[in-house]
Amino acid sequence: MNALSLRNLKKTYNNGFDALKGIDLDVEAGDFFALLGPNGAGKSTAIGIISSLVNASSGSVSIFGHDLIREQAKAKSCLGLVPQEVNFNQFDTVKSILLNQAGYYGTPRKLALQRTEHCLKQMDLWDRRDTVSRRLSGGMKRRVMIARALVHAPKLLILDEPTAGVDIEIRRSMWNMMQEVNQQGTTIILTTHYLEEAESLCRNIAIINHGRIIENSDMASLLARLHIEHFVLDLARPIAAAPVIEGCQIELVTDKTLAVAIPKEHGLNKLFSQLTAQNIEVISLKNKTNRLEQLFMDLIDSNPTGAKR
Amino acid sequence: MNYSIAFRTIVTKEIFRFIRIWPQTLLPPAITTALYFLIFGKLIGDRIGTISGASYMDYIVPGIILMSVISHSYANVVSSFYSTKFQRNIEELLVAPIPNWVILSGYVSGGIIRGLLVGVVVALISLLFTDININNIAITLTIAVLTAAVFSLAGFINAILAESFDDISIIPNFVLTPLSYLGGVFYSVDMLPGVWQTISMGNPILYMINAFRYGLIGVTDIDIQLSFIITGGFIVTLTLFSLYLLHKGIGIKN
């Protein structure tokens, strides 16, 4: 069953800007799905329409088989949203934010209290339940928004750049929390500008550009399309010039650092052998760019107008 | 879907909001109206004599109570709903499966409750200056609730259409306050010259204040039935307009 189905979804704003030019998208139940795209591509508009914050110009949205217009209450009940920006009442306590949210979804008080406790504990916020929300740190505010989105036990959770602006430690702990939520059966749609986040968390991916879906596949197949990988090699001894190896592009960054672009079929073993033959000893290597980031840039660059592929 | 829980959640949230900030919401009307009663009712009123058989103090008490109900029911909804819009936590309501009529009735109920609570506070203050023997409790309560509903709805529409905090102060300052003062709070419409009497008849607050005054002390310049019809008409019109704005997402959705 599809958790989300979009059919020919279009949005033209009052100023005439076509934010969405007819999007078709299916997200399977249980999936951890990445919706990526550059700024202004149409991601936020799409999420706004799915979560009833933006009126679509035409097309349809179905959440777990419920049409968002005809079966609005059922469709909305399945959805939880973590927006990009903090949007809870900054004068409310953490606990009352969740209890109010549960109330909006018709959750009886006793159950709302149980779920509030569960979600706050899950997000490591139980100790902060009576804190007025404006006194929380940025990372805690983001976790409050995730807990709030989970309090009515949605089947589909949309996370719109949930880790933007939080430090790496909090980001990693939020990844663990998201994975845990997904493993418990909640379908997750994630938008993010941290492509390593999408690569490590998501199983399927769609890329949107200029209001159109330009790529929609599973993460493994997409990454398999990457023919050339970029590495940075740290050398044991300084060298004067970049070595020349057929099929590879090698650049001397510093006298002890090389940037290498290597076709997949060439293989790292062969590269190391060729370098050793030239008396160059490699002591460590790292990916120059994230693999998904490389693909993402290739796709966006090759699709400047967002034409369908 | 149990909408009564969502409704109760909105109403409870609204009540907690205005109680939490009681020095801004409940205390000022007590002080302001005490001054009205002291200056207009006691000091000046003693020199004015009676209007329609009632002492001037007794005559102005209903108008001042209802004027407080009007301004506070309006203020509650306009400030609360606009803040909700401004802080973007209106998104919580829009994403949730709450029908528009539940959102509207929740906020309007919050406005009515604050308006009536302030009305009770002002009525208690008035007891320091005069005795009130209620003429008709049913009319008094009904018109108070209906009037609070009218101005809660008006506040809701103002909040939806407002794009800045300036926009939510224009109507109370430049429309509501003048209409309240010219709505016969401090005088009988019969005391006005002919043309001003006719103009005053276009002021809806005049009908509400007179109906409330009739309920409280049995004195009115206006036919009570007409007052109820006009007040009811405003409620229906403003409700339909509010629901239309919510349905279209005007002022709250892209």
**How far does the CA of residue B158 sit from the closest CA of chain A (Å)?**
20
B102: closest chain A residue by CA: A104
Helix residue spans in A152-213 (DSSP H) = 168-183, 195-201
Indicate the burial class of B43 (C-beta count within 10 angstroms; 0-12, 13-18, 19 or more): exposed
Is pLDDT above 70 for A289? Answer: no
Q: What pLDDT is stored for residue A307 in this prediction?
A: 55
Which residue would you say has higher pLDDT here, A14 or B231?
B231
Given a cut of 70, whether residue A304 has pLDDT beyond it is no
- Which segment of A169-173, B12-16, B96-100, B173-177 scores lowest on mean pLDDT? A169-173
Write down the pTM of the prediction.
Answer: 0.85
User: Looking at per-residue confidence, does A220 or B63 come out higher?
Assistant: B63
Most A-contacting residue of B17, B92, B245, B253 (CB-CB within 10 A), to test interface: B92
CA A150 to chain B, closest CA, distance in angstroms equals 12
Angle (nearest 5°) at CA A272 between A271 and A275: 85
- ipTM value, please give it: 0.89
Contact A87 B96 (CB under 8 A): no
Partner-chain contact B96 A101, CB within 8 Å: yes
pLDDT for res A47 = 95
Q: What is the dihedral of CA A173, A223, A182, A36, to 10 degrees?
A: 80
Q: Is B249 on the interface with A (CB under 8 A)?
A: yes
Query: What is the rounded distance in angstroms from the CA atom of residue B247 to the CA atom of residue B241?
Result: 10
All domains of chain A in start order, with CATH = 2-224 (3.40.50.300), 228-293 (3.30.70.1560)
Mutate to test the interface with B, among A44, A52, A69, A104 (most CBs of B within 10 A): A104
One DSSP character per residue, A95-127 reads HHHHHHHHHHTT--HHHHHHHHHHHHHHTT-GG
Distance from CA of B5 to the nearest CA of A (A): 5
| Segment A144-153 mean pLDDT | 95
Residue A122's CB: how many other CB atoms inside 10 A?
17
Closest chain A residue to B84, measured at CA: A89
Contact A105 B6 (CB under 8 A): yes
pLDDT tens-digit profile of A29-39?
A: 999 999 998 88
Per DSSP, what are the bridge partners of residue A217?
A205
Chain A residues with CB inside 8 Å of B94's CB? 51-53
Distance from CA of B116 to the nearest CA of A (A): 24
- Give the DSSP H/E element, type plus range, for residue B208: helix B204-217
Residue type, B92: E
Q: Does B91 touch chain A (CB under 8 A)?
A: yes
B66: distance to nearest CA of chain A, Å? Answer: 31
For the segment A198-224, what is each residue's pLDDT rounded down to a tens digit? 888 999 999 999 999 998 999 888 877
